[in-house]
Amino acid sequence: MVWEGLPALPFVVEKKVIVLEYQPRASSARALSLFAARAQRALGLRGEVNIRITTDRELQILNQRFLGKNKPTDVLSFPSSMPKIAGDIAISGEIASANAADLGHSSDTELKVLILHGLLHLAGYDHENDNGDMQAREVELRKQLGLPCGLIERTPGKGQRSRKTGSRPASGKQQGGRT
């Protein structure tokens, strides 16, 4: 069977799980899962990735629990130390929708930007202290994957986020280090 409109992709070896707890308009778990697989291959990140798209409230709870920040954020990454599991990504669908409206692109596009950002963190990148390595890699992958401006480029200053953004790995201890 040929799926019209989809590029020919090699078999996806890693399992991708996208849970749409909060579903922005026109977002499809299948389309986001295909994108995540493509981005993961482009990044060279191996292992299972689970992505949960949920509410501001859930991201606020996770942000408080793991980073001690009592506010919602756009994306959190939870790297795994287990073999064959890259980790988990949690995304606020509400923040993605608001940012998409502010930036003039679709919620689906914004979710892809956040998925890519989260995957970079799972791969060990940390824009808080890597002297621009993550930003350079994100720019390269965004161009390759056809995405607009990334999260790091939206940042007014190092370690500072505009309005509702503030992504980073949820635990520096769990993150395999690329510093």
- Does the residue 71 lie in any domain? yes
- Does the residue 10 lie in any domain? no
- 127 CA to centre of own chain: 13
User: Are the C-beta atoms of residues 118 and 77 closer than 8 Å to each other?
Assistant: yes
- Does the residue 106 lie in any domain? yes
Q: Which residues contact 75 (CB under 8 A, 6 or more apart)?
A: 89, 90, 91, 92, 114, 117, 118, 151, 167
User: Are the C-beta atoms of residues 97 and 80 closer than 8 Å to each other?
Assistant: no
- Does the residue 40 lie in any domain? yes
- Does the residue 179 lie in any domain? no
CA–CA separation, 80 and 166 (whole Å): 21
Q: Is the pLDDT of residue 9 over 80?
A: no
CA–CA separation, 143 and 141 (whole Å): 5
Q: Which residues contact 64 (CB under 8 A, 6 or more apart)?
A: 70
CATH value at residue 145: 3.40.390.30
- Does the residue 92 lie in any domain? yes
8 — pLDDT class (breaks 50, 70, 90): very low
In sequence order, the β-bridge partners of residue 20 are: 53
Amino acid at residue number 111:
L
CA–CA separation, 44 and 40 (whole Å): 6
Structural domain that includes position 52:
16-169
Alpha-helix runs per DSSP H in the chain: 29-43, 56-67, 93-103, 107-122, 133-145
- Does the residue 5 lie in any domain? no
The structure's pTM equals 0.76
Give me the pLDDT at residue 131, please: 84
Number of domains in the chain: 1
* 3-state secondary structure at position 106: coil
Phi-psi region of 159 (alpha: psi -120 to 50; beta: other; left: phi over 0): left
pLDDT for 69-112, tens place per residue? 999 999 999 999 898 999 999 999 999 999 999 888 889 999 99
pLDDT for 117-173, tens place per residue? 999 999 999 888 888 899 899 999 999 999 987 766 766 554 333 334 444 455 433
- Does the residue 49 lie in any domain? yes
User: Are the C-beta atoms of residues 100 and 106 closer than 8 Å to each other?
Assistant: yes
